[in-house]
Structure 1
Amino acid sequence: MKFSEQWLRELVNPAIDTDTLVAQITMAGLEVDDVVPVAGAFSGVIVGEILSAEPHPNADKLQVCVVSDGHEQIQVVCGAPNARAGLKTSFAKVGAVLPGDFKIKKAKLRQVESFGMLCAEDELGLSQDHGGIMELAADAPVGHCLRDYLGLNDKIIDVDLTPNRGDCLSITGLAREVGVLNKVAVKFVEPAPVESVIKDAFAVVLEARAACPRYVGRVIRRINPQAVTPLWMVEKLRRAGIRSIDPVVDVTNYVLQELGQPMHAFDLAKLSGSILVREAQDGEKLTLLDGQDIELKAGTLLITDEKGPLAMAGIMGGQSSSVTSETRDIFLESAFFAPLAIAGRARSYGLHTDSSHRFERGVDWRLQRKAIERATELLLEIVGGEPGPVTEVKSEENLPEVARIRLRHARVNQLLAFDMPAAEIEEILSRLGLQLSAGDAGVWDVSVPSYRFDIEIEVDLIEELARVYGYNNLPVKTPMAALPIKPIVESRVETRTMRRTLVALGYQEAITYSFIEAGLQKQFDDQYDAIALANPISAEMAVMRTSLWPGLAKALQYNQNRQQDRVRLFESGQRFLPQGGELVQENVIAGVIAGSREPEGWTGKAQKVDFYDLKGHVESLLALGGAAQQYSFASASHVALHPGQSAAILRAGKVVGYMGALHPSLIKALDLDGPVYLFELKLETLANGRLPRFSELSKFPESRRDLALIVDEKTAFDALRTVALKEGGDFLKEVTLFDVYQGQGIEAGRKSLAIGLTWQHPSRTLNDEEINGTIQAVVGALKSGFGATLRE
């Protein structure tokens, strides 16, 4: 928002210079973007009056003017099309200096002498307008210094307000802030109610009561359409970045800048029936004031009459009901529109106006009648007319309520890190316009004024105290807080530990997208129907992943396409599973390996990774929690895995993951260099380990017995191991598989498994009789459970 420093100082005038004022406003949270003079640097320019303007004898586009400076008549050659007798304008006499250090000298134009220059606005640095020389008011004092007459020793301050400070989108709001910061009284504009002269009123009906809970209007008849906007108003508007149009529009714009209340004026003769505030229907059309024809969208808030739309509420008026130079009777509008009803609407039509900018941020919901009275006061002064009574229609239940907040002194001191005196708290909040009443000891009940709609909770009040007190005046302290030490669950394995383990095994961490292509998702998981995105970025990111494998497989493909022949990747993240109409987000860790077992070297022939390389990596993860013996591997089928090289990983009989070789069809579809092996495990299961427990090392020797068992070729060693541990007694430490044999001497469909069983007692040496008895129990259990026989 741009504003004139002179205008601000008319309302509040602290004894500080411009630089201090700017710094003060910025430190209060209202950042100043720019400070520029209202006019260029010039001198020697006065108010001149053109006494006569005759055609130049030697040039069609030039005129020879006789200009009075109040003392003498001076000849000036001018090319402006609006130069005419009787016009008062800006006159740079010989010796004057214009912006850019341009000095005015005596000159001869087409054989006619010229003793000065009649200036356009852009030549004085007032604006970009070069359509003609300046046209000053008829009562402008001839010979008076132009800078003094127009008050050009002023600066325009451009403030960049945060969205929550809509209360400062007016000169009154800014003056209130400056007054608070400097403890200076503010001369607020308080218009007296204007008595109605006529009884004419225009009916108003609120259909969209929630979107427009208050609408205030007034009829003014028989205004003077030939009136002109006074210079002081034109200048204030210009310095706020607003171009003067006509007195009625200028007054509504002036009230907008002065009080912060957007207004609109309708040509009463162009209205029919009554004003109706309602939402638009699809297909309705409106021609805006800027000439743009728009097709309205359903839900857009409108001001209409019996004939149709008149204006987009809170955004822009329509051309059909606009005030023109022929207008004699007007209907003034001042309304409160709920921010949510206006927010985003202007942008949806490619518009942005001063009104929408304010309504989107919030306008004082008690300001509408005051704005009508102020606009009426100004209009009667400028264009005359006969005002009717003020019409106000409102919906009390939809109007905002006055916020009441409980403020604790202890909380203020805690957040600001120092003891702010209670008297200073009361003084600052009172200057801000808040009403305080004492409650319990050290507690205030605070009533927030309607223009501070950004203050809703206790910390908002404390922020105001810090802002007005001065952020640079707050003490610098190291924050202190009670931070209890979070207990470490010893049985829990942290995810970072799993990551470090995989990194130590040669893996690199990958981060892939949570959204994948629907067809790829089906190839990797036929158990779940992935949730489709309503508005996907692309077809390759259409569904939410139910497994990390598709992303890792694509990452492997990317690397192999760039000549990376040994790849080990892992990822920890979420998969998204639809269950019972709900979305379950499950944390998992997954990995993929492909290529050679070891990095390239001279020590041996490169060998490809196999199933048991992956199994060893998975077992390293399972062992982190100290509960490796609780896990088991079972042959299982999976749509993404090779039928003969896939396994489910179980804990307490429940599947917690899968591992195996990637299915040949997927290797072909993705054009991968196989074989490729993958695993995926539930993180929560992995993280839940066994509580560490001290176990003293035995001083006594181990006893080992080896068995060669012939079993069915489909029997897994893990099943034999489980039975052996159960039957081997309390002191059986380890069951190891050290040889597998099929071939000569072993019948078809059978295999030989050589296993080693190791016992150790913590306090004595086990004797042969104890070991032999236990071996017989183990062999008997294996024979009955698996049909195992000892190999001869």
Structure 2
Amino acid sequence: MNISYDLLRRYVATDLTPDEVATALTSIGLEVGGVEEVESIPGGLKGLVIGRVLTCEVHANSDHLHVTTVDIGGEAPLQIVCGAPNVAAGKAVVVATLGTVLGSGDETFTIKKSKIRGVESFGMLCSEVEIGVGYDDSGIILLDADSVQVGTPAAEYFGVSSDTVIEVDITPNRVDATSHYGVARDLAAYLTQRGKPTVATLPEVIASPEGACPLPVSIEVDPTLCPRFEGLVIRGLKVTESPDWLRHTLETLGLRPINNVVDVTNFVLHEFGQPLHAYDLEKTAGALSVKLAGECKMTLLDKSEVTLSDRDLVIASKTGEPLCVGGVMGGLDSGTTETTTDIFLEAANFNATSVRKTARRLGVNSDSSFRFERGLDPNRTTWALLRAASLILELCPGSYIDGGRFDHYPVQAEPYAVELSLSRMDSLIGKVIPRDEVERILRSLEIEIVSQSGDLWSLRVPRYRIDVTREADVIEEVMRIYGYNNIELSGYIHANLSAKGPVDRAYSRRLLLSEQLTGAGFNELLNNSLSSEAYYEGLTSYPQEKLVQLVNPLSGELNVLRQTLLFGGLSAISRNLRRQQKSFYYYEWGNCYMAAPEVEKSTATTLAGYRETQYLGLWIAGERVQNSWVHPDEPASPFELKAHILHLLERLGVGERSLKAEFVELDIFSGKGYAYRTFDGKEIAVLGQVKPALLAKWDIDLPVYYASVNWELLNRLADRTKVEITELPKFPVVRRDLSLLINAETTFAELAEVARRTEKKLLKDCTLFDVYEGKNLPAGKKSYALSFYLQDTERTMSDKQIDAIMAKIRKSLEDTFGAELR
């Protein structure tokens, strides 16, 4: 939220600089994200002066240029070539001198000495658009030469002012600080605590409506949905452009001025934090009602068309037409225009949950919904209403309030009653704060001390502090104003040393694998656990009926918890592909969620039927090697991904022998996927090439290979694996090769598994070094060339022993797969 330094000091008297204010606010919990100087006219008209045109002659080489001499109060007049049709001798003009920087949109240019059609020019005569003081670009600015002083800085003539914008990052619980007065109130408490007694004050209001409101208003909803609704009628308006002070204030805050009535409501919103809305009285058709919308369509002020339901609160005209979505945004046709003469000015309080649900469902965010969603105090609507009415009467001479206020407030919102134990506060803070300081802090925060009975104080907390309802909340308020840095350490640090547990071991393994992947060239991703239900349409491997639905989704794009990490990685690849990246090696640790189809997700009150599992996802795509002088470009491949998976398993001591590899059918993969399972059928990892139809949703036009590792299963498997360190064997490894003719559907993994089963003790490894399919082979056959590595750690193996083992392996392969020796 943007806070104007100048406006802030209207409510709290302080001589702190903007940077000092930022430091103070951050220290009391209102963290400042940035401090920036803002000028009423961008650039501050630096380098621009008022001059007088002494002579104006037609350029000898042009029929539309003029050569002028201009007095700017210097030693000698400047010669300036000008193309404006209205330039004339004797006129006062705005001159950009050499070195002046002017802006045009996001671009800037510097005024330099130049030669235009053979004539030197030492400056520039400016139009309104060129210096940002207006919108007329038909010619240069002409001023009355008798009313200005030559040489006067243009900034002084046009009254350029500067302000400082302090960007405050408001946490969701601090709705009381979403206004200048709210921030001023906290700053006053800060100053008071530091020896400068200060009170935040609000300006006086002049509006004093009397009698009954002439516009009938009916409230047709439960008081919990609309705790308070009040308003008044103002007639005799002339809707025009706002005065400079109001326009400049709104522009400083980053808002676009619209007209004097709307600008007042926006000003009061940022001044006091209470949203307001001005209805064109003619559009109400003689009455207003607050009700639930029902099924209908409506066009909002931002020109978006939304479909309402019976869950949405609206303010409707006498004919039932919705004019405003309560707490969210007004309708396009309900607001004030240049033809408006009479308005109904509304200040209301709406249910925070209702507003939040409606805003999320409609996909609309506004300054009003931002505040209503966090919970506003219904006791604060009256001042905001009268303040806005006072400003409108001031800006619209001749306007008047017709009748009195309509005020629907069936249930009075009382302050929160909190009991504070001083001894418990001392224990929690770790320091005894003098009682008079505690009392001063509470009073500076407008917390009333009802009674003080020994150790126990009874307090009444203002209703606008919705986050201070418990004793611990009050203690936190005392601490933040007293100053966390003023609470000294006791000097004794408690430490606890404990044995490494399962969680610690899992974290160490995860860190080990992350370092390995990073060292192999991978980048780590961190994606949102919330996902879009649309991603899962038509999938059987991750069915929609097993999605965990959110009751109050942030948006339609984030309405479920993810079942897989896949889609987050595809989004990252798509985003970086559009930024001209060519190599994509990513990994991510994250939880995935699944619900049993029979669970009623929207009403479930327990975790029964829901499952949360941690996975490791790997993505590779694009170029494995690119732009290398020693190696040709090489694309990523699924075999590379498989190698990375095996390296991760080996790093944890989970050998390939302890798992079973097999092809699997998954509809996220193009063709078959490849899975590693334990021998009791639990899937540890699955990998494959992502189906092009899925990639098309992210506009990815290159192959993507994805692997999903069930980290919880792998971690438990690693926990049972005992890693031993032994001496290097003294006896050599013996290699023997076999070239086999086998059926085309037989895989190397199946051959290796049979070989290892046949010789469990001396066979150390089995690798594939050649594959051939094609001519000179029988139909349905292929040729595999395998290497077998044998080693006896206690003695040198004899030829007879080696031949016997190889014969046994060969026979097993022949019996199992019908393999033939080539």
Number of the residue aligned with 1:639: none
Structure 2 counterpart of 1:229: 242
Please list, as runs of the form range in 1=range in 2, the aligned pairs for 1:460-609 lying within 5 A after superposition: 460-477=473-490, 543=596, 559=661, 567=679
Which ranges in structure 1 are unaligned for 5 or more consecutive residues?
Answer: 487-494, 501-530, 572-588, 607-672, 674-792
Which residue of structure 1 aligns with residue 357 of structure 2? 344
Matched, 1:163 2:163: no
How do 1:316-331 and structure 2 match up within 5 A? 316-331=329-344
Number of aligned positions between the proteins:
538
**Aligned residue for 2:33?**
33
Please state whether the residue corresponding to 2:26 is helix, strand or coil: helix
Question: Is the counterpart of residue 289 in structure 1 residue 301 in structure 2?
Answer: yes
* Structure 2 letter corresponding to 1:218: L
Which of 377, 390, 407 is the equivalent residue of 2:404? 390
Give the structure 2 partner of residue 314 of structure 1. Answer: 327
Aligned partner (choices 207, 213, 216) of residue 227 of structure 2 = 213
- Residue of structure 2 equivalent to 1:118: 126
Q: CA deviation at 1:172?
A: 0.8
* Residue of structure 1 equivalent to 2:97: 94
Give 1:158 shift.
1.2
DSSP-derived class of the 2:256 partner: coil
CA contact (8 A) 1:41 1:98 kept: no
Report the CA distance shift for 1:605/1:557 in structure 2 as closer, same or farther (over 3 A).
closer
Match of 1:175 in 2: 184
Residue identity opposite 1:278 in structure 2: K
Range with bigger deviation, 113-122 or 22-31: 113-122
Can you list the C-alpha shifts for 1:268-316, whole angstroms capped at 9, x where unaligned? 122113111111102x121212222222122111010122100111111
What is the alpha-carbon distance in structure 1 between the residues aligned to residue 18 and residue 720 of structure 2?
67
Q: Which residue of 1 aligns with 2:772?
A: none
Counterpart CA distance in 2 for 1:68 and 1:362 is 61
Q: For 1:2-401, list aligned pairs within 5 A.
A: 2-39=2-39, 40=43, 43-45=46-48, 91-94=94-97, 97-98=100-101, 104=111, 116-118=124-126, 145=153, 147=155, 150=159, 152-183=161-192, 184-186=197-199, 188-196=201-209, 201-208=214-221, 209-225=223-239, 227-282=240-295, 284-307=296-319, 308-384=321-397, 385-397=399-411, 399-401=412-414
Tell me how far 1:447 sits from its aligned partner. Answer: 0.9
SS of 2:433's equivalent in the other structure is: coil
Cα deviation, residue 603, structure 1: 5.3
Maintained 8 Å contact 1:49/1:142:
no
Q: Give aligned-pair identity as a percent.
A: 31
Cα 1:564/1:396, change in 2 over 3 Å: closer
Alpha-carbon contact 2:3-2:165 (below 8 Å) kept: yes
Amino acid at match of 1:221: R
Does the C-alpha gap of structure 1 residues 353 and 104 become closer, same or farther in structure 2, counting only changes over 3 Å? same
Larger mean Cα displacement after TM superposition, 268-277 or 419-428: 268-277
CA distance in structure 2 between the aligned counterparts of 1:59 and 1:288, rounded to whole angstroms: 53
Q: 1:429 to 1:121 in 2, by over 3 A?
A: farther
Query: C-alpha separation between the residues in 2 aligned to 1:330 and 1:64?
Result: 55
- Aligned partners of 1:214 and 1:392 also within 8 Å: no
| Residues 31-67 of structure 1: per-residue CA shift (max 9 Å, x gap) | 212222203465244689999x999999999999999
- Helix, strand or coil for the counterpart of 1:29? coil
- 1:277 and 1:473 map into 2 onto residues whose CA distance is 50
In structure 2, C-alpha distance between the alignment counterparts of 1:155 and 1:310, rounded to whole Å: 37
Cα separation, 2, equivalents of 1:213 and 1:396: 7
Contact map agreement 2:84 2:140 (CA 8 A) in 1: no
Using the alignment, how far apart are the partners of 2:310 and 2:372 within structure 1?
A: 20
Q: How is 1:361-760 mapped onto 2 (pairs within 5 angstroms)? A: 361-384=374-397, 385-397=399-411, 399-477=412-490, 543=596, 559=661, 567=679
Task: Provide closer, same or farther for how the CA distance between residues 296 and 48 of structure 1 changes in structure 2, counting only shifts above 3 A.
Answer: farther
- Which residue is equivalent to 1:772? none
2:213–2:405 CA contact under 8 A, matched in 1? no
| Cα deviation 1:678-708 (Å, max 9, x = unaligned) | xxxxxxxxxxxxxxxxxxxxxxxxxxxxxxx
SS in 2 for 1:158: strand
Give me the TM-score of the superposition, normalised by structure 2: 0.55
Q: Secondary structure at the match of 1:412?
A: helix
Question: What residue identity is the alignment partner of 2:238?
Answer: N
Deviates more, 1:23-32 or 1:159-168: 23-32
SS in 1 for 2:439: helix
Shift of 1:564: 7.2
Amino acid at match of 1:394: H
Task: Tell me the SS of whatever aligns to 1:286.
Answer: strand
Instruction: Provide the C-alpha distance between the structure 2 equivalents of 1:471 and 1:481, rounded to a whole number of angstroms.
Output: 20
Q: Distance in 1 between matches of 2:120 and 2:395?
A: 42
CA contact (8 A) 1:3 1:158 kept: yes
Question: Conserved in 1, the CA contact under 8 Å of 2:211 and 2:404?
Answer: no
Rg larger in structure:
1
d(CA) in 2 for partners of 1:325 and 1:411?
A: 61
Q: Give CA deviations for 1:702-736 in whole Å, capped at 9, x if unaligned.
A: xxxxxxxxxxxxxxxxxxxxxxxxxxxxxxxxxxx
Asked whether the equivalents of residues 293 and 309 of structure 2 are also in contact (C-alpha less than 8 Å), the reply is: yes
Alpha carbons 2:44, 2:155 under 8 Å: kept: no
The 1:11–1:570 alpha-carbon spacing in structure 2 relative to 1, beyond 3 Å, is: same
Q: For the structure 1 residues 408 and 326, does the alpha-carbon distance in structure 2 shift closer, same or farther, using more than 3 Å as the test?
A: same
Aligned partners of 2:213, 2:71: CA distance in 1, in Å? 49
Contact 1:251 1:375 in 2 (8 A): yes
* Amino acid in the other structure paired with 2:304: Q
Matched-pair contact (CA < 8 Å) for 1:35–1:155: yes
CA distance in 1, matches of 2:190, 2:754: 73
Q: Is the 8 A contact 1:267 1:327 kept in 2?
A: yes
Distance across 2 between alignment mates of 1:69 and 1:218: 55
Give the deviation of 1:604 after TM superposition: 8.4
Amino acid at match of 2:305: D
**Would you say the 8 A contact 1:89–1:118 is kept in 2?**
no
What is the TM-score when the length of structure 1 is the normalising length?
0.57
8 Å CA contact 2:231, 2:344 repeated in 1: yes
Secondary structure, aligned partner of 2:234? strand
Matched to 1:306, the amino acid is K
The alpha-carbon deviation at position 176 of structure 1 amounts to 1.1
Cα pair 1:204 1:275 within 8 Å, conserved:
yes
